[in-house]
Amino acid sequence: MTTVDLFALLFFLGCWFLFDSIVIGRFRLVSRRSLTEVMSIHRKRWMLNALTRDLKIIDTQIMAGLQNGTAFFASTSIFAIGGCFALMGEADTAQSLFQDLPLLTPSTRAAFEMKAGGLAAIFGYSFFKFGWSYRLFNYNTILFGSLPMMAETERDREKAERLAERIAEINIIAARHFNTGLRAIFLSIGYLGWFLGPYAFIATTAFVFMILMRRQYFSDARKTVIAALEGAEEKP
């Protein structure tokens, strides 16, 4: 691994850590709330609204959808890991294809296998995040079943709302792990640039980072969920 390769890898890991820290609110790069933060507020509103109805079929359907989506990405991560190991087994063939590309930085077989192993590690990380998220959504469904009926809620509304907020917290934690796993998959697209060389690695990482930042802070989806939260368009 050359000095430029090491710098590119550190740049990739730095962007990953920076984005995770910004989104979860560990520190702020911009003054706006992220899409993830706003959606966490909506999740709390959802649980509080569930107290106003005895028939919670729609809520259980939403939770089932969350679990199914998480299971899909967990399975996808497993297939991706298998693909990475298959790529390592055919390193000579794959490397010869890459070397035919123009402007490609020459690389050894050992370096190619190391890059493929790193890609497998990213997908392995995402699998564990999706797997834990799936378990938490399952726990959330069980806890949701403990929400009181409307009559009981009216007798002690404060207690019912405290319970709903605790259940919402589990849902938010599950979503946080899901989003972390999903970001790993997104950033793996930037990691693929390393197979073309360290400079391409830096460029693709920066490109993916900017796309993710835009979606979290400047997208139409963010404007919509802000408007739904405040009942009006976000003021500049």
What pLDDT is attached to residue 234? 45
Band the pLDDT of 222: cuts 50, 70, 90. Answer: confident
Distance of CA 34 to the CA centre of its chain: 13
Q: Tokens representing 146?
A: 């403990």
**Mean pLDDT calculated for residue range 106-120:** 83
Q: How do residues 52-106 score in pLDDT, each as one tens digit?
A: 888 888 898 999 999 999 999 999 999 999 988 888 887 677 666 666 666 566 6
More confident residue, 21 or 93: 21
Asked if pLDDT for residue 166 goes beyond 90, the answer is: yes
Q: What is the DSSP string of the chain?
A: --HHHHHHHHHHHHHHHHHHHHHTTSS-SSSSPPHHHHHHHHHHHHHHHHTT-S--HHHHHHHHHHHHHHHHHHHHHHHHHHHHHHHHHTHHHHHHHHHTSTTPPP--HHHHHHHHHHHHHHHHHHHHHHHHHHHHHHHHHHHHTTPPPHHHHHHSHHHHHHHHHHHHHHHHHHHHHHHHHHHHHHHHHHHGGGGG-HHHHHHHHHHHHHHHHHHHHTSHHHHHHHHHHHSSPPP-
| Contact call for residues 22 and 34 (beta carbons, < 8 A) | yes
Q: Which of 9-18, 105-114, 132-141 has the lowest mean pLDDT?
A: 105-114
Cα–Cα distance for residue pair 106/80, rounded to 1 Å: 25
Q: Which of 23-37, 87-101, 134-148 has the lowest mean pLDDT?
A: 87-101
**Mean pLDDT calculated for residue range 110-126:** 90
**Mean pLDDT calculated for residue range 199-209:** 94
Q: Which of 23-27, 146-150, 218-222 has the lowest mean pLDDT?
A: 23-27
What pLDDT is attached to residue 76? 94
**Mean pLDDT calculated for residue range 214-219:** 90
Q: What is the mean pLDDT of the chain?
A: 87
**Mean pLDDT calculated for residue range 210-224:** 90
Band the pLDDT of 236: cuts 50, 70, 90. Answer: very low
Cα–Cα distance for residue pair 143/170, rounded to 1 Å: 9
What pLDDT is attached to residue 235? 44
What pLDDT is attached to residue 20? 87
Report the percentage of the chain scoring pLDDT > 90: 51
What pLDDT is attached to residue 228? 85
Asked if pLDDT for residue 229 goes beyond 90, the answer is: no
**Mean pLDDT calculated for residue range 158-183:** 94
